[in-house]
């Protein structure tokens, strides 16, 4: 008997789907992947150029995080009222312009504004819009498509490329190149992104579209905030995201504390990112076989065990544990989108994603500094890493509850059409 696909339905028409998914992949990588992947390699160069402390230069990442968390709910509403293609173009344009401005300014306040623009571009072009389009276009095999769209190629490649190019051409040329490459994506998005599959009610409804050219917005359904499945999913994702921040901020000092050189300890992040490429594809397959909620349970439970094991292993075994962490945490965005798409459907997923980022914001802001405070108090990483394991245990329980809710059909799909 063929296996059922819990998050799937009948297949959409193919015409226009490939190029739309390709543009989602490029937008996700050129905006989000390039933004995060370039920040670390450019940190020392930005510090020297702006003549500020390392901590002040690192505040740019906080501006990105703040912009994504605060603006995500607003963007979710915009995606229900305007064409997704136009939202993506605006996001790509903001990010590309930010790099160009960052290349020529020597004012610290302007530099922080630029990184806020990058974060805004991420929300518009790379976080909510691709999930919205995938949910509209793909029913069968949605987990696989989400994993491909969110494959973190640029996040993996950008640090290596910038590390090679930066010493040869300098900071200004690198940022100008990043801006030019980003802006070159705009005509491709304008030409190739299609809003809805042909023949669907929303595609036909464009004949009665308002003056801005967007399909007439569907009548809003019940708020995601009133849905129990939303809170179970959002809380689990928030806990998982918080521990991911702890890893990115503290794993290099942790490795050096184990006696490894800076280069070897930094290799832990490369191992994490590289394994994430495989993990994103693997969990896409799991979503299509078992459903998004069981995939989230597997991801969170495995991460909880790996955080505990990090305190017990060293050498090659530590790299293996980090690789498994990367395989399980890197697919978080794809799993997040698949779960909310299954809960709220094509018309409600963008709004649900936006609200979920508000839930996540305190966790991604607070977990990294809190781990640093605990390290200062205890002189080691045992307590903060064990608390990460405990947080992921709570996330596992939350996702298990989501699994029960979805299987009982109490959540269903919220009608927004």
Whole-number Å distance between alpha carbons of 32 and 90 = 14
The whole-number average pLDDT for the span 86-106 is 96
pLDDT attached to residue 201: 52
Between the alpha carbon of residue 71 and those of residues 66, 212, 224, 356, the distances in Å are 8, 22, 17, 11
The whole-number average pLDDT for the span 32-61 is 84
pLDDT attached to residue 132: 86
Residue 413 pLDDT level (bands cut at 50, 70, 90): very low
Cβ 304 vs Cβ 328: under 8 Å: no
Sheet strands (E) in 195-349: none
Residue 212 pLDDT level (bands cut at 50, 70, 90): very low
For 146-159, what is each residue's pLDDT tens digit? 888 888 888 888 87
Whole-number Å distance between alpha carbons of 97 and 359 = 29
Whole-number Å distance between alpha carbons of 402 and 348 = 18
pLDDT attached to residue 200: 64
Question: Taking Cα atoms as reference points, which of 111, 74, 104 lies closest to residue 91?
Answer: 74
Mean pLDDT of the chain: 84
Whole-number Å distance between alpha carbons of 138 and 346 = 10
Residue 221 pLDDT level (bands cut at 50, 70, 90): low
CATH fold, domain 218-412, is: Growth Hormone; Chain: A; (1.20.1250)
* Residues in contact with 326: Cβ distance below 8 Å, sequence separation at least 6, in sequence order: 271, 272, 273, 274, 275, 276, 279
In the numeric block, the tokens 């299954």 are attached to 342
For 324, how many CA atoms within 13 A lie in the half-sphere containing its CB? Answer: 18
Domains 14-209 and 218-412 in one fold = yes
In the numeric block, the tokens 């936006």 are attached to 354
Whole-number Å distance between alpha carbons of 21 and 30 = 14
CATH superfamily of 14-209: MFS general substrate transporter like domains (1.20.1250.20)
- Please report, for the chain, the start and end positions of each structural domain, with discontinuous segments joined by +: 14-209, 218-412
pLDDT attached to residue 91: 95
Tell me the whole-structure pTM to 2 decimals: 0.74
For 163, how many CA atoms within 13 A lie in the half-sphere containing its CB? Answer: 11
Whole-number Å distance between alpha carbons of 101 and 179 = 9
pLDDT attached to residue 269: 80
pLDDT attached to residue 392: 97
State yes or no: pLDDT of 220 exceeds 90: no
For 390-399, what is each residue's pLDDT tens digit? 999 999 999 9
State yes or no: pLDDT of 28 exceeds 50: yes
pLDDT attached to residue 178: 96
pLDDT attached to residue 15: 62
State yes or no: pLDDT of 198 exceeds 50: yes
Cβ 121 vs Cβ 98: under 8 Å: yes
């Amino acid at each position: 008997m063929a296996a059922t696909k819990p998050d799937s339905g009948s297949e959409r028409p193919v015409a226009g789907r490939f190029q739309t998914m390709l543009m989602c992949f490029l937008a996700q990588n050129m905006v989000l992947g390039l933004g995060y992947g370039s920040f670390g390699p450019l940190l020392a160069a930005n510090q020297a150029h702006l003549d500020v402390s390392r901590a002040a230069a690192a505040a740019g990442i906080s501006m990105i995080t703040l912009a994504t968390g605060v603006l995500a709910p607003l963007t979710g509403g915009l995606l229900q009222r305007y064409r997704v293609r136009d939202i993506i173009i605006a996001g790509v344009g903001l990010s590309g312009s930010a790099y160009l401005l960052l290349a020529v300014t020597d004012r610290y306040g302007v530099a922080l504004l630029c990184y806020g623009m990058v974060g805004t571009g991420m929300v518009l072009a790379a976080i909510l819009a691709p999930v919205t389009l995938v949910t509209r276009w793909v029913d069968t095999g949605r987990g696989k498509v989400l994993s491909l769209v969110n494959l973190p190629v640029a996040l993996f490649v950008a640090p290596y490329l910038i590390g090679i190019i930066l010493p040869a051409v300098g900071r200004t040329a690198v940022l100008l190149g990043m801006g030019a490459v980003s802006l070159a994506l705009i005509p491709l998005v304008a030409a190739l992104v299609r809003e809805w599959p042909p023949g669907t009610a929303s595609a036909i409804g464009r004949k009665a579209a308002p003056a801005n050219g967007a399909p007439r917005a569907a009548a809003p359904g019940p708020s995601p905030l009133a849905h129990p499945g939303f809170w179970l999913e959002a809380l689990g994702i928030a806990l998982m995201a918080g521990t991911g921040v702890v890893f990115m901020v503290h794993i290099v000092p942790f490795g050096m504390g184990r006696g490894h050189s800076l280069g070897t300890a930094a290799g832990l992040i490369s191992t994490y990112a590289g394994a994430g490429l495989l993990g994103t594809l693997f969990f896409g397959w799991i979503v299509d076989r078992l459903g998004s909620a069981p995939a989230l349970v597997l991801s969170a439970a495995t991460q909880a065990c790996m955080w505990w094991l990090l305190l017990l292993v060293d050498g090659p075994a530590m790299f293996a544990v980090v690789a498994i962490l990367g395989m399980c945490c890197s697919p978080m965005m794809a799993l997040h989108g698949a779960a909310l798409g299954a809960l709220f459907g094509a018309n409600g997923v963008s709004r649900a994603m936006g609200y979920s980022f508000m839930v996540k914001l305190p966790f991604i802001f607070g977990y990294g500094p809190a781990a640093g405070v605990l390290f200062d108090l205890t002189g080691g990483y045992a307590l903060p890493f064990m608390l990460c394991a405990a947080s992921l245990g709570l996330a596992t329980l939350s996702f298990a509850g989501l699994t029960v809710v979805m299987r009982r059909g109490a959540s269903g799909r919220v009608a927004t059409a």
